[in-house]
Structures are given as structure tokens and as C-alpha cells.
Amino acid sequence: MTETNNTPKRVGVPIWVQIVIWVSLVGLLALMGFGLQRARNPMAELDQPVPDFNLVFYEGYEYNNTAEMKLSDFQGKIVVINIWASWCKPCEQEAPELEQAWQSYKDAGEVVFIGVDYVDTPAGANEYLTKFNITFPNAPDLKSVISSTLNRQMGVPETYLIDREGVLRQVKIGPFSSVEEIDAFINIAR
């Protein structure tokens, strides 16, 4: 974008300008390519290990009275991560079923449910958890790290199934409609 070469001697575009132009073009295209790729792959990669992240549980919703844990602490267990929010209407549809399903799994200790509360306020979360008598561990999605680690893009609710080796096995977008559906969902990792 220069008007520098106005003297008759140097007529062409100086080579360094050409280099700058092409490099910025390639950079721009690479950036767009990245954005496009991100936009088109809304889900975390199936059958790949899930990168680790921290969970800081809500008070009263800890796992075995531990306030802060990592996903990797759950190696050897099947983890069901349910992303929800108190402002999300479809989440309310599945909340009772999730709690019911949790009741049938919690004693065996083989399957862990973890609720991850997306873009929510503590007050709203508390109201929601009380309203649906939720008892499984719940943590806020601080700085949206968890949802972006899991590449959550679509909306809430979304549920992720992670097997004993920490590999993502299945993703459910939208609410579950029955306990049977939740059972079937979990059975894939068993």
C-alpha cells in the first residue's frame, strides 16, 4: 500500500513490500482458516483424551467433601459432565431425570455425575439446584474454561461422556427426555 516508488528509476514494487504483503495475506487467510475450523467443529473430538481442567465445586455440592478437583482425579471412573445454566429452559426439562439417574448410580461409585454451570450467577445456581433437589457434584464453569475445553458451541444443555481412561466417548446436545435415555448414553462407556 505504498506510493513510494514515484521516481522513474525504481519502478517495480520493492521486494520487501511484496514480502510484507504476501506474508500478511497468508497470515490473514491462516487466521480465517483457524476461525473457520473452530466454527465447523463444534464438538470435542470423540475418542480422544479430554484435556485436563479444574473443578471448584459449589458449596454443598462437592465430591466426597473435596472442594477442588481436577478432571484427571476421576481416572478409573466413568464421568458424565452435564453443562447447564439456571436461565436455560431446556435444562429444566432434564434436571429431574438426571437427578433420578444419579440416585441409581451414586452408591456403586462407578459412574460420577458432574454438573457444570455455564455463565451463571451463584444466586441463580443455588435456586436452580434447590428447586430440582440436585445432589450430584456441581461446579461453576469459571471463565468458561470447561465449556471451551470441551468445545461446547451450540447451547445448553450438553452432556459429555468420559470413560475410565479419560477419553471422550459421546456427546449429547440438548436435553435428555428419559432416565432410560441417560442409561443408554452411559452404557456406551461401560
Return residues touching other proteins (CB under 8 A): 1-8, 11-13, 18, 21-22, 25, 28-29, 31-36, 38-40, 42, 85-88, 119-124, 140, 142-145, 148
Long-range contacts of 179-186 (CB under 8 A, 24+ apart): 179/97, 179/100, 179/101, 179/104, 181/97, 182/97, 182/98, 182/101, 183/101, 185/80, 185/159, 185/161, 186/78, 186/80, 186/101, 186/105, 186/111, 186/161
Least gap, CB of 167 to other proteins (angstroms): 22
Give the nearer residue to other proteins in terms of CB position, either 37 or 133.
37
Smallest CA-to-CA distance from 168 within 11, 50, 41, 4 is with 50
Cβ closest to other proteins, residue 135 vs residue 149? 149
In angstroms, the CA 165 to CA 80 distance is: 13
Give the nearer residue to other proteins in terms of CB position, either 28 or 188: 28
The residue among 106 and 151 lying less far from other proteins, judged by its C-beta, is 151
Q: Are strands 68-70 and 54-56 parallel, antiparallel or unpaired?
A: antiparallel
Q: How far is the CB of 35 from other proteins (least distance, A)?
A: 4
- For other proteins, the closer of residues 22 and 178 by Cβ is 22
Which residues are CB-contacts of 123 (< 8 A; sequence separation ≥ 6)? Answer: none
CA 24 to CA 69: how far, in whole Å? 43
For the CB of residue 19, give the shortest distance to other proteins in the complex, in Å.
11
